[in-house]
Amino acid sequence: MYDSAQHFAATYRAFTPEFAFNVESAKDLAAWQAAFRPRLRQILGLDNLEVDLADHQPTAELRSTEDMGDYIRETWHLWVEPTVPLPFYLLRPLQITEPVPLVIIPHGHNYPHIYVGIAKTDQEAAEIAEGERDIGVQAVREGYIAIAPTTRAFGETRTQKDRETDKVHSCQIQLRHGLLAGRTPIGERVWDMGCLIDWASAELPIDPERIAMTGNSGGGTITVFAAACDTRISLAMPGCYFCTFAGSLGTINHCDCNYVPGILRLGEMYDVAGLIAPRPFNAIAGKTDPIFPIDQVEYAYEKLQLIYAAAGAEEHCQLYIGEGGHRYYKDGAWPFVRRYFA
């Protein structure tokens, strides 16, 4: 009798990932990264995006400004493609006398305004309070400039039908059309993060050597892949995402936007995260997270530590495990950032 779980597990075991980490020296690590990163960018569809958008220059438009008392909150649109206005919140400290760190905060499968502390319902207020999801506010109160973008296929970049019915996201539609054009949702979102860094580096008083990215769940996904592809991100701190592909996406139902064709033929998630070494990496996890099992998180972390050891940077790799489930844990986040951005 056919056993689907047994079959899928056997499928993953049928081949050896091309970039499964197996080197020991920093020199060999650099060569491994130099070979792996272009292949990762290729399967994400970033090469196609670069060709398709070679003549496009992203432009930004300020929509609103509000004094929040201890910081300024602005809303912007950045045209990351001629047909795609990417909305984002920009949170600034009241006074900036010298370049400050930038923290980019992509959100998960919820509404982007939650990440800047805006609650439109009692339920959203509870999500913010119980899950510490107002990450943008946390960042600006640390003294950093914070950008909280609307993940593509959410908010204004949903389909018209999904906007009319107020469906949270249009991820499946994004995946379908992207695959036909040689793109992936993750690749398009990584592209958007790169456009934001380009714009912020040119227009804001930021320190280009201190750019961090953190987000929970789907925001953690973007954090891992963006930092793996873009070395301008100097610190990566994914929340409730870092795990193994086979032990999370391969065994538990997840949103379609998580899936990259052929990713396991290149490497596991810890191999992808290894492209971030020796830059600081802090995986934030929940002990009882039902969709990113903690045993798989710990296994992936052990594997990632081997990569950081080869880089001579073991102290730059950390795992913080919160006592709850699938949420953000600010106590595991900001002490790590201060260590490098103080």
Res. 342: pLDDT tops 90: no
Tell me the pLDDT of the chain averaged across its residues. Answer: 97
Using one digit for the tens of pLDDT, what is the confidence trace for 123-142? 999 999 999 999 999 999 99
| 100: nearest Cα among 246, 214, 201 | 201
**Phi-psi bin for 61: left (phi > 0), alpha (psi -120 to 50), beta?**
beta
- Read off the pLDDT of each residue in 192-207 and give the average, rounded to a whole number: 98
pLDDT-derived band at 247 (thresholds 50, 70, 90) equals very high
Domains and CATH numbers, the chain: 23-341 (3.40.50.1820)
- Read off the pLDDT of each residue in 3-10 and give the average, rounded to a whole number: 93
Using one digit for the tens of pLDDT, what is the confidence trace for 263-316? 999 999 999 999 999 999 999 999 999 999 999 999 999 999 999 999 999 999
Do 17 and 267 touch, CB atoms closer than 8 A?
A: yes
* Percent of the chain whose predicted confidence (pLDDT) is above 70: 100
List helix spans (H) across 170-293.
171-180, 185-203, 218-229, 263-266, 269-274
Q: What is the 3-state secondary structure (H, E, C) of 21-86?
A: CCCCCHHHHHHHHHHHHHHHHHHHCHHHHHHHCCCCCCCEEEEEEEECCCEEEEEEEEEEECCEEE
For residue 100, give the DSSP letter: E
| 318: nearest Cα among 276, 262, 264 | 276
Q: What is the pLDDT of residue 328?
A: 97
Q: What is the 3-state secondary structure (H, E, C) of 298-330?
A: HHHHHHHHHHHHHCCCHHHEEEEEECCCCCCCH
Using one digit for the tens of pLDDT, what is the confidence trace for 54-105? 999 999 999 999 999 999 999 999 999 999 999 999 999 999 999 999 999 9
Q: Give me the numbers of helices (H) and strands (E) for the chain, helices first please.
A: 13, 9
- Read off the pLDDT of each residue in 152-174 and give the average, rounded to a whole number: 95
Do 206 and 102 touch, CB atoms closer than 8 A?
A: yes
Res. 24: pLDDT tops 90: no
Q: What is the pLDDT of residue 310?
A: 96
Q: What is the pLDDT of residue 50?
A: 98
Res. 319: pLDDT tops 90: yes
